[in-house]
Chains A and B, each alone.
Chain A
Amino acid sequence: MSPAAEAVIAPHPMRPAPWRVVHKTRETRDTWSLELVPYGCTTTEPYAPGQFAMIYAFGAGEAPISVSEASERHLMHTVRAVGPTTNAICALGVGDQVGVRGPFGTAWPLEAAEGADVVVVAGGIGLAPLRPAVLHLLANRERYGRVSVLYGGRAPSELLFPRDLERWRARFDVDVDVTVDAAPDVWRGRVGLVTKLIPRAAFDPADTVAMIVGPEVMMRFVAAGLRERGVPAERIHVSMERSMRCAVGHCGHCQLGPAFVCQDGPVFPWNVAGPLMEVRER
């Protein structure tokens, strides 16, 4: 959009702004990270860790994608190619254009967690929406108690951000524990369910804030493990996903009980999300 057009056309949450791909990294067999910058003078509100954007692959469709890194005039999205729209997004190359709407949704409670221990639990590609939270925790390490990052994946080759994991592990002020479902015999890490890491993690249950992203079934078991250790439900937070289309609470596609996931979420405290997850859908 030209500066003149931008001055006339006011920003609108339903209007995609043009951004372009400036860097692309293959994370796993089917998952790519795309770094985007806005075209011309396009401005954007800052993205808080946990919020998401609607990414529009022209001619293919739009999908809600969490932010795996954000700074002023720079976004990174980590996308798994699982359908026509995400296939099209993952097929974009450096220089290609996308439409971006956002930021949308609720953020991780990083301010409320200050002074407390923090446990971050991710499953599979769930590390992507948690990455900005971890980066924030590490950049402001003195504001938090003990920090643990627990990460589970299908296999070593499907773990995201291995360089980040290495860097975080090299620090002495964060515990990083990784486990996979199965591994070849050259793997030197843990094999087993991510829930198995919870009893070993060092945190004070009464003064801990937990942030979880993974498939809902995994989040349920992780939340149960944290509750078993004594973490209060309102201090456990999960990021949920439903079919988000408008992202502004109008279309109703993402309605879950009384909540619109796009607006009231995607980050919910467990005392809200837990009962919603118990509802059996048909």
Chain B
Amino acid sequence: MRTIDELLAGSSAFDGLSGEHLELIAGCGVNRSFAAGAMLMREGERAQTFYVIRHGAVALETYVPQRGPLMIETLHEDELLGWSWMVPPHHSQFDARALGVVRTVAFDGACLRGKCDADPALGYELMKRFAAVLAERLAATRIRLLDVYGHVAGS
């Protein structure tokens, strides 16, 4: 069985981190699996955890009155789930639901925040990686706001 350090070393989210930093991060992580339909996060609840998805798919959802749950993004293997643990007031913005069996490494946000405060170099490395994910998702969201499929060339 692979250790958390080994799992993290194979994850693109933590690519380029030193062995020492990987070890520090791994100290806050545990393997956690979810059955299909299980909730990994609930909108508005305290966000104490973030996940690296090792296997399976997770739906980010929000509840729309009179329409029910609406899926706004799916996250898959090797993607990060959750950043509210970093940003006050540390409340989840969306529901996250397992679309099948999902295996993750789950990180304790408070544990990691403590280590980042104590070691700013680690905090900066981690922030760079989360900022890249946030920037990518923000760009994707902006493009989706254009309703890009509304008018199609060549048809």
Q: Is B73 an interface residue (CB 8 A)?
A: yes
Q: Is B148 an interface residue (CB 8 A)?
A: yes
Nearest A residue (CB) for B97: A185
A181: B residues at CB distance < 8 A: 144, 149
Nearest B residue (CB) for A216: B153
Q: Once the chains are docked, how many angstroms separate the CA of A219 from the CA of B60?
A: 26
Task: Number of A interface residues at 8 Å Cβ cutoff, please give it.
Answer: 46
A1 to chain B, nearest CB (A): 29
B147: A residues at CB distance < 8 A: 154
* Given A184-B71, A196-B140: A78 in contact with B151 (beta carbons within 8 A): no
Q: Is A153 an interface residue (CB 8 A)?
A: yes
Contact B99 A188, beta carbon cutoff 8 Å = yes
Contact A124 B149, beta carbon cutoff 8 Å = yes
* Given A191-B59, A192-B140, A195-B140: A185 in contact with B152 (beta carbons within 8 A): no
Contact A239 B74, beta carbon cutoff 8 Å = no
Contact with A along B12-50 (1 / 0, CB 8 A): 000000000000000000000000000000000000000
A200: B residues at CB distance < 8 A: 76
Question: Which residue from B60, B71, B97, B148 sits with its C-beta under 8 Å from A123?
Answer: B148
Of the stretches A5-13, A16-24, A125-133, the one at the interface is A125-133
- A-B contacts, 20 of them at CB < 8 A, read A124-B148, A125-B155, A126-B154, A154-B150, A183-B70, A185-B61, A185-B97, A191-B59, A191-B73, A193-B140, A195-B140, A196-B140, A214-B152, A214-B153, A215-B148, A215-B149, A215-B150, A221-B143, A240-B153, A266-B153
